Structure 1
Amino acid sequence: MELRGFSDEYAVLVAGWAVDAKEVALLSGQVEYPFPEELKASWRKVDPDIHSYLLFDGDRPVGYGEVWLDDEEDEVELARIIVDPKVRGRGIGLELVRALLPPAVAAGYSEVFLRVRPENEVAIRTYHRTGFVDVPAALMDEWNQGQPMAYRWMRYAGEPTWLAEQLPHGSR
């Protein structure tokens, strides 16, 4: 598996991975299904603080995720993580999160976070396996103020050996 920078030629493909309105909302902010045709070419807002990636299995893209940098809060957020529905249940999500962590940690911010729908038990187990832990309930409540739903917020709790070996010398 190899993590590569995202290019817009894959936008329609990745948009097609959204299998319900919840997944469309996670990628685009629009609660519609199927993914609205007019959004397929423009769902990704270009922002210099958002770094988009695809995970490839050979020549085939199998996962998508973003690393959001926030100078003001001195933090990074992993976001919009989605796996091709044809390969779900095969550990691709775990590989994708593990692949996104090196660029997130190497960015040099003090914390790495993510948010997940509380009913997404598969993703939550994946995040726990990659070193994420829940933030305290009071903080979760505070961060959910103004959100479209109450997310489960998680913080990256450390650098396991597999990640430390992937970071460029001198990171962190």
Structure 2
Amino acid sequence: MDLLPFAAEHATTVAGWPASPREVAMWCGRHEFPLPARVVADWQQGEDVRSHMLFAQGDPLGYGELWVDTEEGEIELARIIVAPGARCRGVGRELVRGLAALARDAGYANVFMRVHPDNDRALRCYRGAGFLPVDAHLAAEWNVSQPVDYVWLRHIGSGEPDHPSQAG
């Protein structure tokens, strides 16, 4: 599998992967269904966002972002999604491991994720990719300004967290 920088021509494909309004909300916090491709395309405009696609034999299988916070010296993995036909086959785990490796290779020791608390499948995937929950007090502090009480995860081997990126 190849993890490559996102190309705009894949916005429609990625926007079409969520199968329900609930899935859109848990993936990216939006309430539009189907999600317009322009939303995915617009995410690429953030100067702190580095988007990637996972491909197998030229077929797009997954999408994810690195939200870079140079001031805090950390990266947050975000908006992870796998194509419907590729789910439950380890693709998400491969995508997340690849994104975490990109973060480490870029010199970031602190690598985080936030996950909707009802997204059990994603939580299992991310734990299998080397992420563990942060301290409950820290998660509560980080959730103060969030729309839901996310489950905050830190990549195993990451340095001690100071503050999560609020990018995006």
Q: TM-score range by the shorter chain?
A: 0.7 to 0.9
SS at match of 2:43: coil
Q: How far, CA to CA, are the matches of 1:41 and 1:99 in structure 2? A: 20
Instruction: Identify the residue that residue 35 of structure 2 maps to in structure 1.
Output: 35
In the alignment, residue 6 of structure 2 is paired with which amino acid?
F
Give the drift of 1:109.
Answer: 2.3
Q: Deviations over 1:118-144 (max 9, x none)?
A: 121221111111211100111111111
Count of matched residue pairs: 158
Give the drift of 1:72.
Answer: 2.1
- Aligned 8 A contact 2:82 2:91 in 1: yes
Residues 71, 153 of structure 1: alpha-carbon distance in 2 compared, 3 angstrom cutoff: same
Residues 56-75 of structure 1: matches in 2 within 5 Å? 56-75=55-74
In the alignment, residue 74 of structure 1 is paired with which amino acid?
G
Q: How far, CA to CA, are the matches of 1:87 and 1:123 in structure 2? A: 14
Q: How far, CA to CA, are the matches of 1:32 and 1:151 in structure 2? A: 20
In the alignment, residue 35 of structure 2 is paired with which amino acid?
F
Structure whose CA Rg is larger: 1
Q: How far, CA to CA, are the matches of 2:45 and 2:139 in structure 1? A: 28
Q: How far, CA to CA, are the matches of 2:21 and 2:42 in structure 1? A: 14
In the alignment, residue 145 of structure 2 is paired with which amino acid?
G
Q: How far, CA to CA, are the matches of 1:141 and 1:41 in structure 2? A: 29
TM-score, structure 1 as length reference: 0.84
Give the drift of 1:43.
Answer: 3.9
- Aligned 8 A contact 2:14 2:40 in 1: no
- Give ranges in structure 1 of 5+ residues lacking alignment: 160-172
Root mean square deviation of aligned Cα: 1.9
Q: Deviations over 1:55-78 (max 9, x none)?
A: 001110000000111022221100
- Aligned 8 A contact 1:78 1:114 in 2: yes
> How high is the sequence identity, in percent, across the aligned residues?
47
- Give ranges in structure 2 of 5+ residues lacking alignment: 159-168
Q: Which has the higher contact order (CA 8 A, sep 6+)?
A: 2
- Aligned 8 A contact 1:28 1:43 in 2: no
Q: How far, CA to CA, are the matches of 2:145 and 2:62 in structure 1? A: 29
Instruction: Identify the residue that residue 11 of structure 1 maps to in structure 2.
Output: 11
Give the drift of 1:45.
Answer: 4.1
